[in-house]
Amino acid sequence: MWCDNITQDEVQALVDANRLWDFTRVPLNDKQKADVKEKMAAGGNSWLPYDNGRVPTADEVNKWNRKRHGHDAINRWILIEARAKRLGVLGVCPKCKGKGSKFPAHVSHRPYKSWRECEPPTGAGYQLWETTSEGSPVSPVFASAEELASWCATGAAIFADEKTSRENWLQMFADEDGVDTGSMFVGQPGFLGARVNAPM
C-alpha cells in the first residue's frame, strides 16, 4: 500500500501535525522517564507530556504501519496533502471543480439535484444494516423477521464471506442484548441493526 511506503518529508508532515506519538511521546532519557513517572503518579497516562525531540525515519514509520496499521484517516489526509504538495498537484480538481462529483451528462445530474431528504414512514419493518461504515442498509425491507432471515441466509454474510442459516439469523434477531458479528450489529428495534423502523 502507498501508506506503507511514505517518504521522509511525509514523516515530517506527520511529526509537525503531532501524529506519531508512538515515536515522539515515549521517553528517551532519564529526565523524560522521570516526567512520565511523575505524570502517572498524578493519575495520568504513560505518554510523555511533550514531544521527545525524535523524528523517526521513513523506514521506521513504514514498518510500524505494516505491523500496527497505524495510519488512521487523519494521518492519511496529512500524507495525501504532503505528497500532493511535493508533486505539485495540490489544489482544486480541474474535472469536478472541487465538488467531489462529476456527472457524464446533464441528464444524470437532474435526479441528483432534485433529491430531497424525507423521514421514513412509521411502522415496523425489518431490514439488515451494516456497521463497517457509518451504518447503511444492505437488505430490502421485509414485513417480518422470518422473511428477513430467509433473505439473509442467502443474501448476507455475518462477517466477510461467512454465511449462516435462516435459523441462526432468527436466533440473532431474538437476542435481547443484540449480537455483534464484527461487521454488523444484529439487534431488536431501536438498535442500529437487523430490525429497524424503515419504509415498507
Q: Is residue 192 part of a domain?
A: no
Q: Provide the pLDDT for residue 193.
A: 40
Between 166 and 93, name the one with better pLDDT: 166
CA 46 to chain centre: 26
Q: Is residue 20 part of a domain?
A: yes
Give the model's confidence band at 92: pLDDT under 50 very low, under 70 low, under 90 confident, else very high.
confident
Count of structural domains, the chain: 2
Structure confidence by residue, pLDDT tens digits, 151-185: 999 888 877 778 889 998 888 877 766 666 655 55
Average model confidence (pLDDT) across the chain: 82
Q: Is residue 112 part of a domain?
A: no
Give the model's confidence band at 4: pLDDT under 50 very low, under 70 low, under 90 confident, else very high.
confident
Between 195 and 158, name the one with better pLDDT: 158
Give residue 50's domain range: 2-87
C-alpha cell at 22: 508512538
Tell me which of 63, 87, 111 is where a domain ends: 87
Q: Which of 44-48, 74-78, 167-171 has the lowest mean pLDDT?
A: 167-171
Q: What is the dihedral of CA 105, 106, 111, 113, to 10 degrees?
A: 120
- Residue 164, sorted as left (phi over 0), alpha (psi -120 to 50) or beta, turns out to be beta
Q: Is residue 178 part of a domain?
A: yes
Q: How far apart are CA 164 and CA 160, in angstroms?
A: 12
C-alpha cell at 4: 506503507
Check: pTM over 0.75? Answer yes or no. no
Q: Is residue 160 part of a domain?
A: yes
Helix then strand then coil, in percent of the chain rounded to 5, is 40, 5, 50
Q: Is residue 54 part of a domain?
A: yes
Mean pLDDT of 88-111: 76
Residue 142, strand partner residues: 126
Q: Is residue 198 part of a domain?
A: no
Cα angle 112, 115, 116 (rounded to 5 degrees) comes to 150
Q: Provide the pLDDT for residue 199.
A: 35
Question: Is the domain of 80 the same as that of 147?
Answer: no
pLDDT above 90 coverage of the chain, percent? 40
Q: How far apart are CA 83 and CA 10, in angstroms?
A: 7
Q: Is residue 99 part of a domain?
A: no
Q: How far apart are CA 30 and CA 106, in angstroms?
A: 66
